[in-house]
Amino acid sequence: MDRMSLIGGLEEIVGSSNVLHSPMDMTLYGYDASLGRGMPDVVVLPGSTEEVAGVVALAHGEKVPIIARGSGTNLSGGTIPIRGGIVVHLSRMNRILEIDIPNRTVTVEPGVITLDLQGRLLKEGFTYAPDPASQKVSTIGGNVGENSGGPHCLKYGVTTNHVLGAEVVLHDGSIVCLGGKSQDNPGYDLLGLLVGSEGTLGVVTKMILRILRTPEAVKTMLAIYDSIEDAGNTVSAIIAEGIIPATLEMMDHVVMRAVEESVHAGYPLDAAAVLIIELDGLRDGMERQAGRIREICKANGVREIQVARDDKERARLWAGRKGAFGAMSRLRPSYMVCDGTVPRTRLPEVLNKVLEVGEKYDLVIGNVFHAGDGNLHPLILFDERDEKELAAANAASSEILKICAEAGGTISGEHGIGIEKLEEMSLIFSEADFDAMRRVKHALDPRDILNPGKVIPAAPS
Ligand SMILES: Cc1cc2nc3c(=O)[nH]c(=O)nc-3n(C[C@H](O)[C@H](O)[C@H](O)COP(=O)(O)OP(=O)(O)OC[C@H]3O[C@@H](n4cnc5c(N)ncnc54)[C@H](O)[C@@H]3O)c2cc1C
């Protein structure tokens, strides 16, 4: 089928106002928050599951790639149309369909913005725990696609721990429902397989999510350190004590400086690192736990601990963390976010090695990350228009992921594989592992139309 016939076929399914095909639109949908670039043939904005199914069935018949897209904020090239095809932008499917308090679930369409869901649930005294720092923009469909994490995932778990059910359009346009509101589901855990599959196994059109009561009390502290090792050691010591804070985030001096120039969160410019430690839960016992954390911080060389006295101060401390990526992006034309995970006891050692990588390649690298999970996010600053700098940034990123893998960690904590980390997959998986993954993909998408070329490296020829 030629491009114009494809566009005509899609217009019949979703209406001509919901099909984009101008050169400018194709350019706009050719990138995401990664450094990758591609070009779709056409973009559709379906308004219902049936329309998604119609689009996928047409693509299946014509063997045209389908790339599901939420807000395109993923950092690994997951929505880059590397082989052209149809971008299915799910932004029109943005309804919260049901809030079921007795069963503690919410049912949503994929285009719901994560923070909008949080805001709606807050009115009922409930919350949806996964809170990626991009939540102002990211969609629940994209969060499910990437199995996203966030500051609160240390205590509450990542997206997969909160998805109870999903309606999914499969490769040929058939519609299946996985999981549901009941607590246990027999049969294969296809829902587990789907979450984090980056749009390579199906297009999610509805999700049933777990919701939790908002905590009775919250206490937020900023622990300030003169050495990054001391901050890293504090993280392991708190968890070893049996305390699981709601969040345990770390920022180094490079990031704090950038934040202060943009957000003015009041971070100390002469410190080496800060930890944002937040406790939540019952008011009873919280002060005792905070006291124990203060002792642990002191035993690990903390310089000062600030405690937020009210919501305004708490919001100020968080504004810096949440605006950190944006603040860093003001310093150079481009930044690359590495996303590796290490056992938290190895954090100080690995952070030092990241510093050495920056020196080796003459690149500024800032660190802002989910320290409690051992999930590092070294932000490499560079100018992608300068070929030498681009090559250095790519090499530095690869080396950092290798360091993470060698420290007993892995090459992604939450940002997925997409196209950017295909090469590094072999640091943690064998050819036999890849073969098993390829067989799963082939069983669920035999014509290889669902986000082809992502997540699993191509088979050796
Ligand atoms: C400043 C910044 C901060 C960030 N902070 C975090 C963070 O703290 N934690 C974190 O985990 N990530 C973070 N991210 C990465 C990103 O925001 C997340 O991966 C997010 O979940 C992507 O959502 P999205 O709607 O933009 O999805 P997209 O980027 O549009 O899509 C992501 C993937 O999901 C697939 N997909 C999208 N919708 C569907 C669907 N309906 N069905 C099937 N597949 C689908 C896509 O094909 C793609 O592979 C950050 C990104 C930025 C730019």
Residues of the chain with pLDDT under 50: none
For position 57, what pLDDT does the model report? Answer: 98
Please tell me if the CB atom of residue 127 comes closer than 6 angstroms to any atom of ligand 1: no
CB of 198 within 6 A of ligand 1: the answer is yes
Quote the pLDDT of residue 140.
Answer: 98
- Our answer on whether the CB atom of 199 is closer than 6 Å to any ligand 1 atom is yes
For the Cβ of 76 lying below 6 angstroms from any atom of ligand 1, the answer is: no
What are the pLDDT digits (tens) for 277-290? 999 999 999 999 99
Closest ligand 1 atom number to CA of residue 451: 47
Does ligand 1 have an atom closer than 6 angstroms to the CB of 414?
A: yes
> Would you call 152 exposed, middle or buried from its count of C-beta atoms within 10 A (0-12, 13-18, 19+)?
buried
Q: Please write the tens of the pLDDT for every residue from 182-227.
A: 888 889 999 999 999 999 999 999 999 999 999 999 999 999 999 9
CA of 182 relative to ligand 1 center, distance in Å: 27
Ligand 1 atom at minimum distance from 71 CA: 26
